Structure 1
Amino acid sequence: MTAREPTRSGAPPLRRVHEVDTIRGFALAGILLANIGFFADPRLLATVGMGTTGPVDFAVQTLILSKFYVIFSFLFGYSFTLQTRSAESVGAGVTARTLRRCLGLLVIGLLHGLLLWPGEILTLYAALGLVLLALRRVRPRTAVITAIVLLVVVCACYALLALLVTCSPTPVTVMAAPSAEEGARVLAAFTGGPLDVLGVNLSQYLHTAPMVWFAQGPGALAMFLLGLAAGKSRLFERPGDWAHRAPAVQWIGFTVGLPTAVLYSVLIDHSGVAMLAATALNTLTSPLLAAAYVVTLLRLARRFPSVPAALTPAGRAAASNYLGQSVLACLVFSGYGLGLAGRIPPLGVVAIAVAMYAVLLALSAWWLREHRYGPVEHLLRRLTEGRRHR
């Protein structure tokens, strides 16, 4: 399931790891389901979407939120090892190429956040990519231990905050919802004209970006390191080495991760100690559930070739699809297009997400019939390598 890529040295030809592309394509579906609710109701960004109002929201909160960004972050670390190998195979400088790539991600992320989606993640990935560059020579075992320590420290910090809240003599609200007047103003502007949408995005980006960095930064770095360790160990290139452990990963991931995810969704509706305790627990168990998702996907992909055939093109053009999701969501929900925010019920929002995902899968397959890379990937590679790609 791998394809050769040319090299300009005497090193063995590198191979594209299509399993990584398949997982990326799958992760894009989760990212879309996680983000589209914020487009459908931009008022949720003020509270980072905390709380559930019905069975659909509960299902998304339980099964999707905080699970798929874990997968995406893991794949970033894995892909870093592939890019490093590619650079070394042609005698190029890893540091210079990584710096240019991170700069490209930073610029794209800023434009994405200001114009389309204030909750964008690319600027964080650009910054953490520099950390990964500095740590690229660590051994896989050291990377895994460091990642686990990071996750435990984050969990301990949330648990400590929960303990401090219990000691407060007055009730503590960790994250307050906006007033009805402020929410109405945001919704009206988001569904107004294009300049109104830009104004909303700018104001929300200024307060959302720090929250994203604080809430997701340490966890994302931990997953980067786990991906780095997996890439150095060629995890997806040697499936025979771990296939016998796949059922155990699924059993642990689903039996521990799913009940914890349900508990998290129940407790997230509360302010103060309950929410902080739930977040602490979710920090440790989300990677387990995400791992179960990935292993299940790979086992299905081996059994049903149509699964990777459908998902791999989107995974090969993941950055283009990530941005394409925001473009389509804005055209449907914001004043850039139809302005339907606040009018579609949750089940309808999920249906729209499914339709968007199907469109993007089809567009990815069509584009890659004639091109080696997606349009955004082409720009990033040209910037990274400093030469023109076909």
Structure 2
Amino acid sequence: MSSQALATRHITLDALRGFAVMGILAMNIIAFALPEWAYVAPGTYGGDSAADKVSWFLSFIFIDGKMRGLFSLLFGASMALIIERAEAKSENPAKVHYSRMIWLLLFGLAHYLFIWWGDILFLYAVIGCIAYLFRNWEAKRLIKWALIIYGLGFLLYALQFGALQSMQYMATQPGADASIVAQYKEVVESPDFSIDASAEIAAYTGSYADIVARRWGDISNLLFLILQSITETLPLMMLGMAMKKNGFLTGEWERGDYAGWARKMLIPGLLVSVGLALWVVSSGYDLITTLGNFLAWSMVPRLLMTIGYAALLIMAIQSFAGSAFIGRVVAAGRAAFTNYLGTSILMSTIFYGYGLGLYNQVGRASLWFFVLGAWALMLLWSKPWLDRFQYGPFEWLWRSLARAKLQPLRK
């Protein structure tokens, strides 16, 4: 493929990235505005109103993990595209890639320490370094091993939470064995299952110095996130690389193929997700049941729906490619790095003590107003900016640092 052909932007990839960066905020808003437990356990923080419960129910089914999954697919696809472009220009692809990943890691570290604890850039940089090793694999081999790694991750979580939920069941039965009851109490009364967020609330409603100090104290969480997420993030990146190579994510398949994959992925994914959400509700938002569904049992439907969403969105993008709305989504996707970091700066300023101080003051349902406002901002600023400039502000900075040379910004 010629370097000129590779230089052409893939509108489908850009638009998908735009939808993903907007969608990921819809779940991240919980982590901006409420204690960390609210993100995984709806029975802890976030309001007890019917609207708040419906908000959690719909978010769990339609959003949680799916937009992050789509973001991971697109990261893998973009990585494959950048490597192809480097090779077409006779550049050293390893140097180009690892330079980008090192600077992304530093961006992620700064983002975590000084802006928001929910950073994924550090994770993506580390996993991206690993994913590079598979750059020359053909699409079928990438898909095969991605599914194997994902399956192993699911098996590990299933064994862990299957055992935990079995122990809970046996310990709560009439006449339960005393040793099992004691073992169960030891687990649920351990610090890992403490939902007391008083220290967290005090820190995030305090000064900026308090917040940064807390982050430095918890910096090991970045490494824990890698261990926790590698069996999901790495295979998703590998799938993204494969779906770039076989033309799926660049919109090169027939419309009927996309429709078929959307049906095959979304219908079972939705049905299982609804069942899992109902299970959590019927348990009275029991903490172990909620964690099991959040971390383990939702992994398979999450993957199905991520791929189904990609197919469905590609069809929508192709159908409305000439519309003003898709044009703005494309621009938001081209500036996804800036929009991701920008929403962190905006939301942390709104909710943390050094800003408006709304932390732990707004319920789940009401947080949607902040999400809609941020979406409007993304769509409003991205296109006018990119009509005048070649890159978003943080995209330009990342590119300039990775290439050790200021890149031209104005068109």
TM-score (norm 1): 0.89
- Please name the residue that 1:3 is paired with: none
Q: Gaps (5+ residues) in structure 2?
A: 169-179
SS of aligned partner of 2:117: coil
Contact map agreement 1:118 1:202 (CA 8 A) in 2: no
What is the distance in 1 between the residues matched to 2:218 and 2:357? 18
Q: 1: distance between equivalents of 2:5 and 2:363?
A: 54
Matched, 1:335 2:349: no
The residue identity in structure 1 corresponding to 2:300 is: L
1:17 is aligned to 2:10? yes
Q: Does 1:62 align with 2:61?
A: yes
The secondary structure found in structure 1 opposite 2:193 is coil
Aligned residues: 375
1:74 maps to what in 2? 73
Alpha-carbon deviation of 1:223?
A: 0.6
Residue of structure 1 aligned with 2:200, choices 186, 205, 212: 186
CA contact (8 A) 1:47 1:177 kept: no
Cα displacement string for residues 178-207 of structure 1 (whole angstroms, at most 9, x for unaligned residues): 32xxx2332132122221222343345544
1:262 and 2:274 equivalent?
A: yes
- 1:320 pairs with 2:334: no
Q: Distance in 1 between matches of 2:129 and 2:314?
A: 30
Do structure 1's residue 101 and structure 2's residue 113 form an aligned pair? no
User: Which of 193, 212, 218 in structure 1 is aligned with 2:231?
Assistant: 218
Distance 1:387 1:85 in 2: 21
Q: TM-score, normalised by structure 2?
A: 0.85
**Shift in Å, 1:214:** 3.2
- Once the two structures are superposed, what CA deviation does each residue of 1:117-153 show, in whole Å capped at 9, x if it has no partner? 1111111111111111111111211100001101111
SS where residue 16 of structure 1 aligns?
coil
In structure 2, the CA distance between the partners of 1:381 and 1:79, relative to structure 1 (3 Å rule), is same
Q: Which residue in the other structure is 1:346 paired with?
A: 364
Q: Does the 8 A contact of 1:81 with 1:228 survive in 2?
A: yes
User: Does the CA contact (< 8 Å) of 1:143 and 1:225 recur in 2?
Assistant: yes
| Counterpart for residue 50 of structure 1 | 41
1:142-221 to structure 2, matched below 5 A, reads: 142-165=141-164, 166=166, 169-170=180-181, 171=184, 172-173=187-188, 176-179=193-196, 183-207=197-221, 209-221=222-234
Structure 1 gaps of 5+ residues are 1-5
Give the structure 2 partner of residue 132 of structure 1: 131
Residue 274 of structure 1, CA deviation:
7.1
CA contact (8 A) 1:158 1:277 kept: no
- Give the Å deviation of 1:330: 1.0
CA distance in 2: counterparts of 1:185 and 1:238, whole angstroms: 48
> In the TM superposition, what are the counterparts of 1:264-303 in structure 2 within 5 Å?
264-268=276-280, 269-272=285-288, 275-276=291-292, 279-303=295-319
Q: Distance in 2 between matches of 1:278 and 1:355?
A: 27
CA contact (8 A) 1:116 1:201 kept: no
Counterpart contact for 1:17–1:236, Cα < 8 Å? no
2:41/2:287 contact within 8 Å kept: no
CA distance in 2, matches of 1:56, 1:163: 27
Is the 2:31–2:38 Cα contact (8 Å) retained in structure 1?
no
Distance 1:375 1:211 in 2: 30
Is 1:386 aligned to 2:409, yes or no?
Answer: no
Name the structure 2 match of 1:235: 248
Is the contact between residue 119 and residue 205 of structure 1 (CA under 8 Å) also seen in structure 2?
no
Aligned residue for 2:9, secondary structure, equals: strand
Distance in 2 between residues matched to 1:57 and 1:128, nearest whole Å: 29
* 1:62 positional shift: 2.1
